Amino acid sequence: MDTVTSALLTDLYELTMLEAAREAGTASRRCVFEVFTRSLPEGRRYGALAGTGRVLDAIADFRFDDADLRYLRRAGLLKQETLEHLAEYRFTGDVHGYAEGELYFPNSPVLRIEGTFENAVLLETVVLSILNHDSGIASAGSRMITAARGRPCIEMGGRRVHEDGAIAAARAAYIVGFASTSNLAAGAHYRVPVAGTAAHAFTLLFDTEEEAFRAQLASQGSGTTVLVDTYDVESAVRRAVELAGPGLGAVRLDSGDLGAQAGRVRDLLDSLGARGTRITATGDLDEYRLEELQDVPLDGYGIGTRLVTGGGHPAPGFVYKLVEREGADGQMHPVGKRSADKATLGAGKAAYRMRVGEHAHAELVLPGEAEVAEFERELTAELTSGQSNPDWTRTSLRSLQQPLIVGGEVVEDLRAPARVEAARAQHAASVEELGLSPDEGPDGPVAIPTITDGAEAARLLG
């Protein structure tokens, strides 16, 4: 397939809306769009934001090239004047958002896009594709890392997702704490550490398992990971240690009752003097299975399908909604759909994580400057009254939104490859701030409430 521009990763209706707005004279009205999700999947305590760096790349590169315009012309869906406008299109507005790796909760405005209608409406599809995909994986992966309780996890799910999605999946997994990936393209493009073992095909290629092990050890050294479940696990472990010596790096189990098997393999390795040889488990693992395996003597996990398909919740449901726009009067007005089940809170919002001491206490999402001002007024009054709840003095607010694109230019160092290590650090810090214990298990109510009313926010600790 030819290279695809990010501009064509777009739904047709964005272009026809642009055309209709241009003809009606409203295309240059200033608009504020926000990206948020209305709820978390049942049982999920938080979401993990990933993909922001990739979104910035996509916006910076968002251009209709000649092939795109030829297609649009041939398809006959747009007028010549619209095509000429698209040929000159580039995003010139502003984007603010949560740092990549940050946690999100219902209604957290993880991205805010400001610009004219015709400038900002076109970004909807590509922004949502990236954030929904990457954050779905990050949100599942973060739970798995907690459940792994420090045991290193390798992302190895590339074969279960779209081939390019696999690269983004490895990136998202690394951001939430995976140690490495099996995917070479993620290593090349995002500098994610790569790791690998061997497949059953390798053992089966040789006339005997012993020949296969000899070949692997001779080529890869004794620090390699040997797959021991092609024939009989016990004989394979004995054989591998015989051939490699007690310095054998690791053995991998990929089938059977991992819990029972790992104990026997650990005892066997120890009895053979291979006390330093690690045991890695793979095969349909997820956070629930990892919980069950926490007392089993395993040293690391390879995690694939359940991670890269979002652990049962493949898309977080991020939407891209117009929340504020210029009216005929030249003033900005909050707007929102009024349908009962999908109502949208109007106005651009300011977002803070309220902390008490070291821990997150609430997500403040305050619509409009008046709400923010009211909250700050009440907070200050409370703090200076002398009679405040002692908790108030330990209260702090962490602003969650930062400038990502200013006047069409991506803020330095925020594009996707440079962003990965910073996002990984951000995620680790935000999870720690949340203060959940792994012993609570993966599921539960949402960890902190989202407060969307300034007075209510101020009363939180009142």
Binding to its own copies (CB under 8 A) within 49-108 occurs at: 54, 57-58, 67-68, 71-72, 75, 77
Q: What is the x/- site pattern for its own copies, positions 230-269, by CB under 8 A?
A: xxx---------------------xxx-------------
Q: What part of residues 18-47 is at the interface with its own copies (CB under 8 A)?
A: 19-21, 23-24, 26, 29, 31, 33
- In the complex, the smallest distance separating the C-beta of residue 176 from its own copies, rounded to whole angstroms, is 17
- In the complex, the smallest distance separating the C-beta of residue 401 from its own copies, rounded to whole angstroms, is 21
Q: Are 343 and 330 within 8 A, CB to CB?
A: no
Any contact of residue 161 with its own copies (CB under 8 A)? Answer: yes
Task: Quickly tell me which residue has 């992302």 as its tokens.
Answer: 155
Nearest to 196 by CA among 175, 231, 224, 217: 224
- In the complex, the smallest distance separating the C-beta of residue 160 from its own copies, rounded to whole angstroms, is 4
DSSP per position, 409-431 = EEPTT-SHHHHHHHHHHHHHHHH
Q: Are 136 and 394 within 8 A, CB to CB?
A: no
Binding residue (CB under 8 A) for its own copies from 119, 129, 426, 430: 129
Q: What part of residues 355-374 is at the interface with its own copies (CB under 8 A)?
A: none
Nearest to 310 by CA among 421, 183, 431, 160: 160
Q: Closest CB to its own copies among 188 and 370? A: 188
Longest alpha-carbon distance in the chain: 83
Determine which helix (DSSP H) or strand (DSSP E) holds 349, and give its type and residue range: strand 349-356
- In the complex, the smallest distance separating the C-beta of residue 122 from its own copies, rounded to whole angstroms, is 11
Q: Closest CB to its own copies among 305 and 388? A: 305
Q: Are 355 and 378 within 8 A, CB to CB?
A: no
Partners of 367 in beta bridges: 349
Neighbours of 199 (CB within 10 A): 12
Total residues interacting with its own copies, rule: CB under 8 A:
112
Region of residue 384 (left: phi > 0; alpha: psi -120 to 50; beta: else): alpha
Binding residue (CB under 8 A) for its own copies from 197, 222, 426, 430: 197
Q: Closest CB to its own copies among 29 and 355? A: 29
Binding residue (CB under 8 A) for its own copies from 44, 278, 289, 321: 321
Structural tokens at position 100 = 């990549």
Neighbours of 177 (CB within 10 A): 22
- In the complex, the smallest distance separating the C-beta of residue 228 from its own copies, rounded to whole angstroms, is 10
